[in-house]
Structures are given as structure tokens and as C-alpha cells.
A and B are shown apart, each in its own frame.
Chain A
Amino acid sequence: MNPLKTGRAAVAVAAAVVLSFTSAGFANGATGAVPRDHGEDEITVGIKYDQPGIGLKTPDGTYTGFDVDVATYVAKELGHDPSDIVWKEAKSADRETLLQRGDVDFIAASYSINDERAKKVDFAGPYLLAHQDVLIRADDDSIKQPSDLNNKKLCSVTGSTSAQNVKDKIAPDAQLQEYGGYSECLTGLENGVIDAVTTDDSILAGYASQDEFKDKFKLGGFKMSNENYGIGVQKGSELKAKINTALEKMVADGSWDAAVEKNFGPAGYQNEPAPKIGVIVK
């Protein structure tokens, strides 16, 4: 290769690297607090679209789930009718970015409060205390305590905190299958390739409450971790205090219990009492 060509190649390398960085920056970059420009009464809320019982977009375009009920109640307390709520999908990896860019006003999307996240966004709540748990076949009585999991085949979602907990702490000797979504895990659980699906009990209860899975699966009832679901808002937002007030009211007037019963009830989910605002159970 002659020197001229080597030089050209080096320039191409540098350009490629710079391009890959800047384009990532423009696409997802945290550009700081940008005020949202929306209609008078509209409020944009980030939720999950794919978790039954938590946040699910149904084929007919409506939204159901516990997070949806909580968000609707909070929005009402903030002065927005349910019809003024603009729902937006908040996938796990996108949540901080959505808030930092101001794309959503708040996020209720099975958003566990942790230190790394709290550096980037503020959390109102918590509004639900969930635990990592397992979902097993209804006729399986070989799993009675977490230590029974060690020679079993477990399944969770690729890269999730629950999957990492299994590998590092709960059952290092267990075989772990990771899939892109819980539906694949449930297929495996149904046909016996997988012995237990593990993630937050609230999510598992949501799946087990689906009509097609009723009476097939049961929750193990192991409290293997504490997940404090909070409502994410932009760092320093004055919404945090207002949302906290709304959550307190929701618990006080019984709407919170009704929402839990409605979304998780059919799975026999033993929910924790409503958490106290600002108290994070480690």
C-alpha cells in the first residue's frame, strides 16, 4: 500500500469513528432539560406497551395494566382528563433518555429505583414494592424454596436485572435461558423445556392472569429481591412533589387496592401493602 493510500485509509477510519459517535449523540443524546411544547391540557406519559398487567397496548388501541391505572390517576390529580393523556412507549433502555430530553412528562413503566438511575432522573413514589419471584407450572411441586432452583432450568429476559441476579446470586448453578421477551420463556415453561420463569412478581402475576395462561402456572412466592417501582420525572422537576401527593391520595381513597386487585388478582398474587412515599426498601 502506498503512503497516500494509507493516509486516506486513516482519514476514513477517523471519519467513521467520529460519525458513529456523533450520530449516536444526535439520535439519543441527552440534550438537557428541553421544555416540552404541547397542547394546553395534554400530558405525555411513558409506559410499557408489552407487559400484561403492568402496561399493555391492546390490539384495539387501548391501554391496560397497573402502571396505566396509576398513571391515569396521577394525571387526573395533576388536572388532566384521561382523554388528554398521550401514551408513549418507554422501553427499559430508553427511559432515562426520554425523561432527559423531555419527550415525556413522567414515566410509570415498572421503573425500579436504583442509585445509577437516580443520578439521571428523579423518582416520585415508590408506588409498588415488587420482588423477584419465579413462575412455575401449576402441577410442579419440586420447587418450594429458592435453593431448589439450583439444578433447574430458568428463563428470563436478555440482560435484565433478574437474569443477572440469577447468574450472580440466586442460583449460580442453575441453567439460565435468556430470551428477548417473556412470551418465549412462557412457551418453554408450557412445554417443559424451562422449569421456572423469573422476574418481578408483579410482571409474572400479570402474565399468569392472562386468560390463555390461567390455571397453568403459579407463583413461587419467593421474595428474592426488592424492586421499588417509582414514577420517573425529569431531574429537578416540580412534578415530583405533586405526583407524590397524588399517590398518597390514591392509596388513601382505596383506588390503589382496587387497581392491584384488578390487574394482579387472578394470579393469586400476595402483594405488599402500598409503600410509603420516599421509603425505599433495599
Chain B
Amino acid sequence: MFDFLQGYDLLGAFWVTVQLTVYSAIGSLIWGTLLAAMRVSPVPLMRGFGTVYVNIVRNIPLTVIIVFTSLGLFQTLGVSLGADRFTVINFRLAVLGLTAYTSAFVCEAVRSGINTVPLGQVEAARAIGLSFPQVLRIVVLPQAFRSVVGPLANVLIALTKNTTVAAAIGVAEAALLMREMIENEAQLILISAIFAFGFICLTLPTGLFLGWVAKKVAVKR
């Protein structure tokens, strides 16, 4: 029943999926946190930028963003992100697109965490002379992150599945291999099921582990 799997690099394809996920997750955690900081900052211009960014980017379909990175950034504007082979360029463009998109969701998750920190703590921190970046770094964000591990796990799982969109610009990840196999083997249901199972293998442990972490680190109030 599974002989047709021979000659396909299933693990290799899922490895690219994992790489896409990890790089984009790191990127969007950093950019998303910065955005969240902007959205709560005292500077109106930064607040405005954060709000506009989040509301525009999270309302654009991911496919549009990913295809734009290739057609708009790469083909038209010549942004190749320091690479000269399509495989590398496409991978980096996909990470860029996924990061830009996922950051909007990370930002909102982190911001909801910031809102769980009692206002009195911020006022106390300001009273002892801490600057805004210090208030965020030392007082607010550590508590905020502890309360949003669960929501961030949701974002991470969504990101893992969203990496399949990278096939639209030819990144050789799991969804691209799936299309090749469906094209060759005429086994639509079985192949889809195999790939669905592959994604469950990736996301289910992530969800269970981060759920456990969330409980461990939650701030008891």
C-alpha cells in the first residue's frame, strides 16, 4: 500500500517545513514583541505605526503576502536577500513573508499579556525612576510572556501549518512534495492523509509541550 513512497524525500521536505517554522518563529517573536512595545509606547507616532501595521498585515491573506515577496520584492524590485540561487532566495523570502505576517498575531498576543500586568506595578516602576524601555524589559514583559505562552503556542501551530503557503513560490517544503506526489501517483486521499499525519506529528507535541510550559510558568494572581 505504501510502496509508492519510495523515491520521495518525505523527511527532507518536512525538514524544510521545520526550518521555515523555526526561523519564522524566531523572527516573528522578535518583530512581534517590538511591535507590541510600540503599541504601548508613550510616543504617538510609534503607537500609530504599530496599530496600522497590525491592522493592515493581519487582514491581508498570507498567500498574497508570500507571492508579493517573490513577484514584488524579488522580481520587480530586485531584492534577493543576499542570495543568488532561487532555492535560497525563495526560502529567505518565505521566511520574510511568514515573519511579517505572523508578527502581527504575536504582537496582539504579547499586548494582551502586557494588559494582564497590573497598572500599579508600572506606576511603581516609573516612580522609582525607570525609563520606558526599562519598565518594559524588567517589569512588564517578563510577566507578560509568562501569561501568553498558551496564545503564542496557538500562533506557533498556525505558523507551522501556514508554511505550506511557501509552496506557492516554490520552496521545497512538505506541501510542494505533496503536490508532486499527487501529480505522479493519482492517490489523492492517501497522500493527503500522510501529509496531514506529518503535520499532526509536528504540531501536536508542540501544543502539548507548550501547554505544559504555560501551566508551569503562569503568573498566579
Partner-B contacts on A (CB < 8 A): 1, 9, 13, 16-17, 20-21, 24-25, 28-30, 92-94, 96-97, 116-117, 119-120, 153, 158-161, 163-164, 175-180, 184, 187-188, 191, 193
Contact = CB atoms under 8 A, between A and B. Distances in A.
Given A1-B212, A179-B170, A191-B76, A97 B188 contact: yes
Given A158-B176, A159-B179, A176-B170, A93 B184 contact: no
Interface string B68-108: 00110011100000000111001000000000000000000
Interface stretch (B24-32, B118-126, B150-158, B191-199): B191-199
B188 A193 contact: no
A150 to B, nearest CB: 14
B67 A180 contact: yes
Contacts of A9: 208
A164 to B, nearest CB: 6
Interface residues of B, number: 34
B186 interface: yes
A92 B168 CA distance: 16
B183 A159 contact: yes
A173 B30 CA distance: 37
B198 to A, nearest CB: 11
Given A116-B186, A175-B85, A176-B170, A24 B196 contact: yes
A252 to B, nearest CB: 32
Contact of B189 (A1, A30, A153, A176): A30
B183 A20 contact: no
Given A175-B85, A178-B170, A184-B67, A96 B208 contact: no
B209 to A, nearest CB: 11
Given A92-B183, A159-B167, A177-B169, 4 more contacts: A158-B170, A159-B180, A175-B85, A176-B86
Nearest to B84: A175
B185 interface: yes
A116 B180 CA distance: 13
B interface, over-half SS: helix
Contacts of B188: 28, 93-94, 96-97
Contacts of A159: 167, 176-180, 182-183
B189 A24 contact: yes
B183 to A, nearest CB: 5
A24 B193 CA distance: 7
A138 B73 CA distance: 25
A116 B169 CA distance: 27
Contacts of B52: none
Interface in B173-221: 176-180, 182-186, 188-189, 192-193, 196-197, 200, 204, 208, 212
B110 to A, nearest CB: 27
A20 B190 CA distance: 11
Contacts of B197: 17, 20
A188 B75 contact: yes
A191 B72 CA distance: 12
A20 B200 contact: yes
B183 A191 contact: no
Contacts of B177: 159
17 contacts: A1-B212, A21-B196, A25-B189, A28-B188, A28-B189, A28-B192, A30-B189, A92-B183, A93-B182, A93-B188, A153-B86, A158-B170, A163-B180, A164-B180, A178-B170, A179-B170, A180-B167
Contacts of B75: 187-188, 191, 193
Given A20-B196, A117-B186, A158 B86 contact: no
A175 B86 contact: yes
B183 A161 contact: yes
A17 B200 contact: yes
Contacts of B185: 116
A172 to B, nearest CB: 13
Nearest to B172: A178
Contact of A96 (B76, B180, B186, B204): B186
A20 B193 CA distance: 7
B206 to A, nearest CB: 13
Nearest to A94: B188
B170 to A, nearest CB: 3
A228 B70 CA distance: 33
Contacts of B169: 177-179
Contact of B168 (A93, A164, A175, A180): A180
A31 B56 CA distance: 44
Contacts of A92: 183
A45 B79 CA distance: 44
